[in-house]
Chains A and B, each alone.
Chain A
Amino acid sequence: MSQLGRVKQWNTFARCWHLFDAAWQNPLECAPSIEKYLKGLNKPIYHPLVDCGDHVVVINSKQIAFPGEEWRRRVYFHHTGYSGGATWTPAWELHDRDPTMIFRKAVYHHMKGNLFRRVVMERLHIYSDSNVPEEVIENITNQIPPLRSIPKTLGSYSKEEIEKYPKIIDYPEDFILSKN
């Protein structure tokens, strides 16, 4: 067996740990790709009854992004079971209370409801920032590629870069420049 093939076999039969940076990612979009690693769908030995999934460590879950007005419009429903016990919480309010909950719910609700779902969810480790315990970090061997690129702010560019960037319009001839 070749060296590469041997490593592939190790990775298939071992429980690997993957890292995912959730900064500026939509949790609803990246739920399917994370589910793939949690269940082991990327492995050739996959079968629904074979427990071959990997661990996924999600960091920076506080910095997830939603499109447009989704933070206000998206509502999470809960019912206590008593009469009048229904509550509707907007996404931003839920995120204030627990910054990991929206991500966990997104992955949980994307998976099919069966007896394995809660077992698979135990392998998902979500952290609101980049402070991860060392016993978790030392296991990580792979990083899941982000789906969205992080947008660059104007402040991150230097003054020279902004000045030398090609200009589309010029000021009109009788324009009064205001000082910054």
Chain B
Amino acid sequence: MFKIPLSGILLGASKVPTKLFVPSIGLHVSAPMKLKEIHANKVGGKLIIEGAFVPSPRKDHLIPNNSECCSLCNLGLNVKHTDVLILSQFVRPDGCMMPQRITGLCKTQQKRMSKLVSMAHKAGLMCSLAPANSKKDTTKRKLWKKYNTYFDESTIKVYESHFKKIKENVILDYVKSRNQEIN
């Protein structure tokens, strides 16, 4: 018999293949390859909560990415904090930034985007994406927060270690190609 680590079932439940399914535990482990939406229906006196599979709402307007780099590096955009239509794609309905494992961006872009999102929130440009009990009118904020602010994107730190690796790779590729030409 296979030995299944328990944490593997709990955390990566959807990634565990169906062959390793153990019925004696009483846990239903499935491998859905679709997006899920949770519906709560009241039938008579019973509350039925079920997860239904739905197609992705972004399927039709998605930009295809065939390169090795992440989808944002591929486009080569200079994103500003006022580009709310782009920034709102990385954000949950309550306004918080989605983690790297969901967005699928590289480390540098993920950090940059999360800072731009916080800038857009501070400037009051994404008020519609906020928790239900929050003040959505920026003029009702406290102290200095009620006044208009804008931000300079050049203040965002760029991590040099990222570029160091790219530079090293460029040099290594160049040396490789030179060696091939000589041979």
Binding site for B on A (CB under 8 A): 23-24, 26, 63-68, 70-72, 90-92, 95, 148, 151-155, 157, 161-180
User: Quick one: given A168-B89, A173-B35, are A71 and B147 in contact (CB under 8 Å)?
Assistant: yes
Q: Is the CB of B104 within 8 A of A68?
A: no
Q: How far is the CB of B120 from chain A (nearest CB, A)?
A: 8
Given the known A-B contacts A71-B144, A155-B127, are A171 and B56 also in contact in the complex, defined by CB atoms under 8 Å? yes
Known: A173-B35, A177-B54. A155 touches B128 (CB 8 A): yes
> Can you list, as one digit per residue, whether each of B61-102 has a CB less than 8 Å from chain A (1) or not (0)?
111000000011001000000101110111011000000011
Quick one: which of A23, A91, A170 has the most chain B CB within 10 A? A170
Query: Could you tell me the distance between the alpha carbons of A140 and B144 in the complex, rounded to whole angstroms?
Result: 33
Question: Is A165 in contact with B85, judged by CB distance below 8 angstroms?
Answer: yes
Once A171-B56, A173-B34, A175-B35 are accepted as A-B contacts, the answer to whether A68 and B155 lie under 8 Å apart by CB is yes
Q: Check A162 against B149 for contact (C-beta < 8 Å).
A: no
Question: A166: shortest Cβ distance to chain B, in Å?
Answer: 5
> A65 and B35: CB pair below 8 A?
no
A168 touches B57 (CB 8 A): no
The 7 closest A-B pairs by CB, nearest first: A92-B144, A65-B148, A71-B144, A174-B14, A151-B82, A167-B58, A154-B84
Tell me which of B36, B123, B149 has the highest count of chain A C-beta atoms within 10 A of its own C-beta.
Answer: B149
Query: How far, in whole Å, are A171 and B88 apart by their CA atoms in the complex?
Result: 13
Whether A153 touches B125, Cβ cut-off 8 Å, given contacts A168-B71, A168-B86, is yes
* Bound Cα distance A155, B15 (Å): 38
Give Cα A67 to B144, complex, Å.
12
Establish whether residues A177 and B148, one from each chain, have CB atoms under 8 Å apart when the complex forms: no
Among the listed B51, B105, B147, which residue makes an inter-chain contact with A66, where contact means beta carbons less than 8 Å apart?
B147
Is B126 in contact with chain A by the CB < 8 A criterion?
yes
B143 close to A (CB within 8 Å): yes
CB of B181 within 8 Å of the partner chain: no
